[in-house]
Chains A and B, each alone.
Chain A
Amino acid sequence: MTDFLSQHQRPSASIMLSESAQEPSAITLKEVKFRWPKAKQAILDIPALTIQAQQHLFVKGPSGSGKSTLLSLLTAINTPEQGSITLLGTDICLLKQGQRDQFRADNIGYIFQQFNLLPYLSVIDNVCLACEFSRQRKQKAMAKHASSQHPIRSEAIRLLTALNLPTEIQTQKASHLSIGQQQRVAAARALMGSPSLVIADEPTSSLDHDNREAFIQLLMQEVTRNQATLIFVSHDPTLEPLFEQSIDLAQLNQGKLQQSDLIKEGAQA
């Protein structure tokens, strides 16, 4: 019965998000199933998902829809039990753990919900940290300021300034900043060294409404300048209109359906 259902749902769940077929896809998921080590049922089951490069995608996901799991897959922290995930043309399921970490360091800028920064480093050092684990990003950052004495710092300062963070707070300890400022620093770090993918996990949930929109506008502007793909995950549907594309994880994810079926069956038994 489950098979039947998933087969029926598959065409609707498989969403082609971009009209222009020539654009290379940034992310492709095929038949992806994921189960946490101790869980009996797959928490995530995505038959197909393609996200085109340079898109700004809003992923709507109420809590419990497998949002965190999807993010752990898209950031190559975890690999699926079945299926394949291709990020920027690389099938990350074929990579070893160390290679996946390196892939993440090189290609993904990540923004957490909150507490994005190491409290004991200065704002600039927090941003520069993005280059510590990736030679590729370091070189990209340096290439932009070839004439500068400290090219990496110059790039960090450029990004921070672009994100409306004044010079005087750039040298402060990260813990001294307001939450709104912290999130902008996190955005600067995610954009440091121009990674191709920027993934944000509810980055605005701790911001008030005005700051929320301003933050998203700034983020999108810088992502566009970097020609990166933005995946913005949130449970807040009011943000949806700000994005050109959006998907609903609750619809996309078959795993949840199975699980709720299971709960129903369990209740009946």
Chain B
Amino acid sequence: MKSLLRLASNSLLNRKATVLLSIFTIAISVLLLLGVEQVRTQAKNSFANTISGTDLIVGARSGQINLLLYSVFRIGNATNNIDWKTYQEFKEHKSVNWTVPFSLGDSHQGFRVLGTNQDYFKHYKFGKKQPLSFVQGKPFDQLFEAVIGADVAHTLGYQLQSPMVLAHGMKDIGFSQHDNAPFRVVGILAPTGTPVDKTIHVSLEAIEAIHVGWESGAFLGHAPSADKLQQRAFEPKQITAFLMGLNSKIHTFHVQREVNDYRLEPLSAIVPGIALHELWSLMSVAEQALLVVSIFVVVAGFLGMLASLLTSLNERRREMAILRALGAKPRHIFSLLVLETGIICGLGILLGMGLLYLILALAGPIIQQNYGLAINLTTPSQYELMLIGCIQLSGLIIGIIPAISAYRQSLSDGMTIRI
């Protein structure tokens, strides 16, 4: 076995160029397969980490995915609002520890505006219960102050004290702008890799203030000036949704039932983890498609290796005849070829993994900086090890094809080579 291994490696070294190409083909397919797997798990993790530490999300009666999409991902719109009194009632509920009210509906240059209060910066958590942190500035305090996410600051080039005019709805057209009341940036949040990065945060009172004169849904009356609005005290009448943190997780389903059965208005409460899971499973088709594509790349890599092995086989009949003359049994010839494919495949896997980790190590800091996504360089997961094992095994199985034909050739050729 040891001498066969030496023969195999020497013979491979002798055919450096084609063997290196085969190794690279396998390496690239392994890189792709494991890369897709990494992206998938990281995406899944970051997706699941969009919101954490929140026990329930409450909004107007709707499906749980819809509620999750507009409250957490800022996608789509709320079906209805929640009355401020209802919110107050649940805020005072004995099982409830904290709440964060959300008021959505306005935008600025395509970024959603979220009306909330100071509790947001205290209780909103993402990832592994990480709180939001400020790169610059502080939470809003005055009426026309805004805190912007990392992407907003980056894309629009805003800094502290930059002025901004919010627009009603998602359209940034002239007559639907709240230009009577410009805001200024007082805080910029650190990247989180969640929709928070694309959000502009203002106080609930500010949302009320800029909508004076918009009560009917469109701007009909005249809007008072910012100074006048500053002097008024606003109390919100409605909010879009609110987050809930409970004293004890044991009460989650109890409180959820209570919200869903609330008599005065139709409400829905969702458990973020469950809703996120359901939403992710909707994407499993894309996930599968990615996996299938990368498996096909691996298959293509193997076919390339097979082609080059089979081509070289004819040139190597002489080699096999010499070995046979020296008393090598056909099974030695067979194992020699399987061994060669095994070596090519193994080296390909090692190279592919090396490349993957190199790319992750190089790209990790950049991704962390720009997207707030922490990519951990971990040892391969059990699933990845299983994938690698499958690749190595299929490599050996594919090696059987040239091995069989070399075996046949060596049996029929014997001492004479008829080419």
Contacts and interface: CB of A to CB of B under 8 A. Distances in A.
Interface of B is mostly: helix
Contacts of B250: none
B11 A110 contact: no
Interface stretch (A13-21, A97-105, A154-162, A238-246): A97-105
A120 to B, nearest CB: 3
A133 B329 CA distance: 9
Contacts of B324: 77, 101
Q: Which of B327, B330, B415 has the most CB of A within 10 A?
A: B327
Nearest to A102: B327
A77 B324 CA distance: 9
B325 A98 contact: no
B211 interface: no
A212 B10 CA distance: 32
B363 interface: no
Interface in B177-211: none
Contact of B332 (A77, A104, A108, A133): A133
Contacts of B331: 98
A98 B415 contact: no
Interface residues of B, number: 22
Interface string A107-120: 01010100111111
Nearest to A101: B329
A247 interface: no
A105 B10 contact: no
Interface of B: 3, 7, 10-11, 13-14, 318-319, 321-322, 324-332, 414-416
Contacts of A112: 321-322, 325, 415
Given A110-B325, A130-B326, A133-B327, A71 B319 contact: no
B327 A71 contact: no
Contacts of B3: 132
Given A116-B322, A133-B332, A106 B414 contact: no
Given A68-B415, A68-B416, A75-B415, A106 B329 contact: no
Interface in A116-154: 116-121, 129-130, 132-134
Nearest to A116: B322
A201 interface: yes
B326 A105 contact: yes
A133 B327 CA distance: 6
Given A118-B322, A132-B3, A72 B328 contact: no
Contact of A71 (B10, B11, B415): B415
A228 B332 CA distance: 27
Contact of A101 (B318, B327, B416): B327
Contacts of B321: 112
Interface in A186-207: 189, 201
Contact of A121 (B10, B318, B330, B332): B10
Given A72-B414, A77-B415, A98 B318 contact: no
A38 to B, nearest CB: 11
Nearest to A68: B416
A117 B415 contact: no
A120 B11 contact: yes
A183 to B, nearest CB: 13
A110 B415 contact: yes
A78 interface: yes
Contacts of A133: 326-329, 332
12 contacts: A68-B415, A71-B415, A75-B415, A77-B415, A98-B331, A105-B326, A108-B327, A116-B322, A118-B7, A119-B14, A120-B11, A201-B415
Given A115-B318, A120-B11, A120-B14, A132 B326 contact: yes
A116 B10 CA distance: 17
The 9 closest A-B pairs by CB, nearest first: A105-B327, A120-B14, A77-B414, A133-B327, A110-B325, A101-B329, A68-B416, A132-B3, A104-B327
B322 A78 contact: no
Interface string A160-188: 00000000000000000000000000000
Given A78-B414, A110-B415, 20 more contacts: A68-B415, A75-B415, A77-B324, A77-B415, A97-B329, A98-B329, A101-B328, A101-B330, A105-B327, A110-B325, A110-B326, A112-B322, A115-B318, A117-B322, A118-B7, A118-B11, A120-B10, A133-B327, A133-B332, A134-B327
